[in-house]
Amino acid sequence: MSVAALAALRTGAPATERLVDTCRDLAVPVVERIADEDFSTQWQAMADLGVLRLAAPDAEPGPVTRSLAMIEGIGLAGADPGLCYALASQIFGMQFPLRDSLGADAWRPVADVQRGGMLLCHALTERGGGSDPFSMRTRARREGDGFVLDGAKTFITAAPVADWAIVFARTAEGRSPFALSAFLFPLDLPGVRRGETFTKTALPTVPMGELLFEDVRLPGSALLGEEGSGLAVMASTTAWERSVILGYALGPMQRLLARTADWAADREHFGRRMGASHQVAARISDMAMALHRSRVQLYAMAARLDAGVPARQLATEAALTKISVSEDYVRMTEQAAALSGVRAFLPGFDLVTDLAGPMAALTYAGPNDLLRVGVARQLGLPVEN
């Protein structure tokens, strides 16, 4: 089965499906050309394709749907999953919230990211942990009209190569909802240093690293929202991210299904083709079901955002979508690995299966265990993190 045969599973709005196909066709030669290039070259090539450009809010299909379709298209073309993840993370977790939720002042200084010459990162996690934002030690103290920032952010996607960062810091003590603030600033300010770079088993193409801040003087204009509104900014960026970031997996999921179905259809086993086994066929159907569920949910979230529903109102649905798609991605990958036998674990083989990439989705953008706690709390259970 070719990836094109998967069209039977793609029955969304015709204009959106056409966009996915157009983007895939445009991306195929580019993806082949950049396969062995470094991350920055790959990023610029995707920017040149227009993947980082946000459509106008009144575009048809809407801007979030368009961006999701483009990410799916480049994934279908075979773009590296780490690159797709990094693009989805910046577009949905930073560009859209900065443009559509955090006010014109937030977007203006970084609007150029759409051309690719400049990269953003979202710096929340610290070495001591990421799940509990109130454990953060990075501090910003008022000085005149501005702030002085001290601390460190660790395990940050793109930190080694980013030009600007959204950084969360404590501006008051304790666990009050107003103890945190968010800042947006360029990483060439005096006092900012790049710390350790981490080699990852998951999504290794996109670098991960640490940002160190020592007496960094930030102008008042670097503050996103008001002093003390860091938690609200975080609620916005994370709701956007959880709604659609897993769109990065739609292309890789389809390629995985196509590849596994081909293998099961052709391989001779026990004197017949492997796909003649009902158990094998059921695994393939389960993979298709996981893909179908994920696709429907992600495009439904994109449609809600395009309809102008504020991301923060979608927090619970965003969490459910993130949990559901990430866990379907993991289950689907397990099915593929099971059907591929030993070849799943041999890097030189076409059937080598990346389990670490899908597994990482259980952790980033909010660990699923903690998201479940949040959903149950919304349903009235007296449960805290």
Which of 60-68, 119-127, 189-197, 284-292 is the region at the interface with ligand FAD (rule: CB under 6 A)?
119-127
Nearer to ligand FAD (CB atom), residue 62 or residue 130: 130
Residue from the set 363, 374, 375, 377 that interacts with ligand FAD by CB under 6 A:
363
101 alpha-carbon distance from chain centroid: 18
Would you count residue 370 as binding ligand FAD (CB under 6 A)?
yes
Cα–Cα distance between 200 and 188 in angstroms, integer?
Answer: 25
Would you count residue 155 as binding ligand FAD (CB under 6 A)?
yes
Would you count residue 129 as binding ligand FAD (CB under 6 A)?
yes
How many residues form the binding site for ligand FAD (CB under 6 A)? 21
Cα–Cα distance between 284 and 378 in angstroms, integer?
Answer: 35
DSSP, residue by residue, 185-207: EETTSTTEEEEEEE--SSSTTS-
Nearer to ligand FAD (CB atom), residue 2 or residue 199: 199
**Alpha helices (H) in the chain, listed in sequence order:** 14-34, 39-48, 63-76, 81-90, 96, 104-107, 230-244, 250-266, 278-306, 315-340, 356-360, 368-378
Would you count residue 360 as binding ligand FAD (CB under 6 A)?
yes
Would you count residue 123 as binding ligand FAD (CB under 6 A)?
yes
Which of 51-59, 176-184, 233-241, 368-376 is the region at the interface with ligand FAD (rule: CB under 6 A)?
368-376
Would you count residue 373 as binding ligand FAD (CB under 6 A)?
yes
Residue from the set 41, 131, 285, 378 that interacts with ligand FAD by CB under 6 A:
131
Q: Which residue has the tokens 């959880």?
A: 242
Is residue 120 within 8 Å of 79, Cβ to Cβ? no
Nearer to ligand FAD (CB atom), residue 121 or residue 298: 121
Which of 253-261, 323-331, 337-345, 361-369 is the region at the interface with ligand FAD (rule: CB under 6 A)?
361-369
Q: Which residue is nearest to ligand FAD (CB)?
A: 130
Cα–Cα distance between 16 and 115 in angstroms, integer?
Answer: 23
> 247 is written with which tokens?
């769109």
Burial grade of 1 (CB within 10 A; 0-12, 13-18, 19 or more): middle
Torsion angles phi and psi, residue 159, rounded to 5: -55, -40
367's CB contacts (< 8 A; 6+ apart) are 131
Q: What minimum distance in Å lies between the beta carbon of 97 and ligand FAD?
A: 14
Instruction: Give the chain's end-to-end CA distance (angstroms, integer).
Output: 45
SS3 content of the chain, % helix, strand, coil (to 5): 55, 15, 30
Would you count residue 385 as binding ligand FAD (CB under 6 A)?
yes
Would you count residue 169 as binding ligand FAD (CB under 6 A)?
no
Would you count residue 70 as binding ligand FAD (CB under 6 A)?
no
Nearer to ligand FAD (CB atom), residue 130 or residue 275: 130
Residues 172-231 that bind ligand FAD (CB under 6 A): 202-203
Neighbour tally for 71: CB within 10 Å = 29
Q: What minimum distance in Å lies between the beta carbon of 202 and ligand FAD?
A: 5
Would you count residue 367 as binding ligand FAD (CB under 6 A)?
yes
Would you count residue 235 as binding ligand FAD (CB under 6 A)?
no
Is residue 238 within 8 Å of 365, Cβ to Cβ? yes
Residue from the set 130, 160, 275, 358 that interacts with ligand FAD by CB under 6 A:
130
Would you count residue 156 as binding ligand FAD (CB under 6 A)?
yes
> 298 is written with which tokens?
């992600």
Nearer to ligand FAD (CB atom), residue 19 or residue 211: 211
Interaction site with ligand FAD (CB under 6 A): 121-125, 129-131, 155-157, 202-203, 360, 363-364, 367, 369-370, 373, 385
